[in-house]
Structure 1
């Protein structure tokens, strides 16, 4: 597993009511190719195991790890406290990524779906691709491509989740 981060950090709270508490991570040693910049990680925050946590983009290449109330309670920590954070990149179970070309090729067999997809704004096209690529396994991605073809042919929208 690739170690991404191993250091002491001070928990910070975003300003304003309801602001998240987080552990700042800074820039990573590489630029992960992920949807919306979110990177799945595992590791430890002090002595508490983190499995399936997500590093979120913060801007200018920096990232942060959200630390929710339940985790802060386990740690006995709050914003302003120092914690030891060790993070590793999670190896995704599938290396399959769906490119725009691959997706359009699948749509070519269903003219109605193809024309509706082509008429969408680029941001909406990326939503469809993101939904397909977010599946956990190759089998789920294939199933999502099939569902996308059917939904697009019927004029449907990108499913949630």
Structure 2
């Protein structure tokens, strides 16, 4: 897991009428973390209360945020405007970062020989398509499509 915050003081924000986002924390330094809704999961603590697998919500051109539900607010006895101490980790993603990792997957699937038999431009296109995906889930979809095509 990658540390995003460690014992950071944040203000629990309250914005009526925002549904699940009425109470939320804006997470500093997260503007450049890439990922789509539901693909960025975080775990950690808020005032010692442990949370797991909350969505780190994308906000256009701004730091991301997490919703702080009633269960958490009740457990920490805090409301809008209160200061909280947050430690947060981005749940590890197993996104592939290199050709070698991809070759290992093709090898495990028994498809490396067939993949290597493709013309170089087709190999490069498959590699680029898979490695350029924004998250592990999308990479898995492209890998499965490539393996299906190779079989």
**TM-score under structure 2 length normalisation:** 0.57
**TM-superposition CA deviations, 1:42-64 (whole Å, max 9, x none):** 11111111221221122323111
Deviation at 1:66, TM superposition (A): 0.7
Deviation at 1:40, TM superposition (A): 1.3
Counterpart in the other structure of 1:25: 27
Deviation at 1:69, TM superposition (A): 1.1
Counterpart in the other structure of 1:89: 90
Whether the 8 Å contact between 2:20 and 2:67 is mirrored in structure 1 is no
Relative to structure 1, the CA distance from residue 47 to residue 83 in structure 2 (aligned partners, 3 Å threshold; closer, same or farther) is same
Q: Distance in 1 between matches of 2:38 and 2:60?
A: 10
Relative to structure 1, the CA distance from residue 4 to residue 133 in structure 2 (aligned partners, 3 Å threshold; closer, same or farther) is closer
Counterpart in the other structure of 2:108: none
Question: In structure 1, the residue corresponding to 2:64 is in which secondary structure?
Answer: strand
Relative to structure 1, the CA distance from residue 90 to residue 19 in structure 2 (aligned partners, 3 Å threshold; closer, same or farther) is closer
Matches within 5 A, 1:32-71: 32-36=33-37, 39-71=40-72
Matches within 5 A, 1:132-147: 134=137, 138=140, 145=145
- What is the root-mean-square deviation in Å for CA atoms of aligned residues? 3.8
Counterpart in the other structure of 1:4: 4
Q: Distance in 2 between matches of 1:19 and 1:40?
A: 16
Identify the structure with bigger relative contact order (alpha carbons < 8 Å, sequence gap 6+): 2
Whether the 8 Å contact between 1:22 and 1:64 is mirrored in structure 2 is yes
Relative to structure 1, the CA distance from residue 19 to residue 90 in structure 2 (aligned partners, 3 Å threshold; closer, same or farther) is closer
Whether the 8 Å contact between 2:13 and 2:80 is mirrored in structure 1 is yes
Aligned residues: 118
Matches within 5 A, 1:90-129: 90-92=91-93, 94-96=94-96, 102=126
Relative to structure 1, the CA distance from residue 58 to residue 95 in structure 2 (aligned partners, 3 Å threshold; closer, same or farther) is closer
Q: Distance in 1 between matches of 2:60 and 2:18?
A: 21
Q: Which runs of 5+ in 1 are unaligned?
A: 106-128, 150-161
